[in-house]
């Protein structure tokens, strides 16, 4: 995700056409071209990852689990459902 003025945002929308599908979303955030693993914490259905002065927030439609270097969200997507995963960058 390029750093520009404003708040760059990456949005992924998952749509289920038929049936129910279990889905696992995994994120391994890194800053400074992959050189710096962030300090990550859970905040409700959000993950906040920071390496001064960078901060990324993942907003997910499911409860997120934050491990040492991975954030994941497991969810069952039902027919006709649309779910948005939103990753935003801001200067902390």
Walk along the chain (92 residues) and give the pLDDT tens digit of each residue.
666 667 789 999 999 999 999 999 898 888 888 888 889 999 888 899 998 888 899 999 988 889 877 898 899 999 999 999 999 988 87
Other CB atoms within 10 Å distance of the CB of residue 7: 10
Beta strands in the chain (DSSP E): 9-15, 20-27, 39-43, 46-51, 54-59, 64-66, 71-78, 82-91
* Interatomic CA distance for residues 30 and 10, integer angstroms: 15
pTM of the model: 0.82
Burial of 82 (0-12, 13-18, 19+ CB in 10 A): exposed
């Amino acid at each position: 995700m390029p750093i520009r003025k404003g708040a760059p945002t990456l949005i992924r929308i998952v749509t289920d056409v038929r049936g129910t599908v279990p889905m696992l979303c995994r994120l391994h955030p890194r800053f400074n071209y992959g050189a710096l693993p962030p300090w990550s914490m859970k905040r409700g259905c959000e993950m906040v990852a920071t390496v001064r002065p960078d901060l990324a927030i993942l907003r997910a439609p499911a409860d997120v689990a934050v491990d040492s270097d991975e954030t994941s969200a497991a969810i069952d997507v039902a027919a006709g459902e649309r779910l948005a995963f939103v990753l935003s960058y801001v200067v902390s």
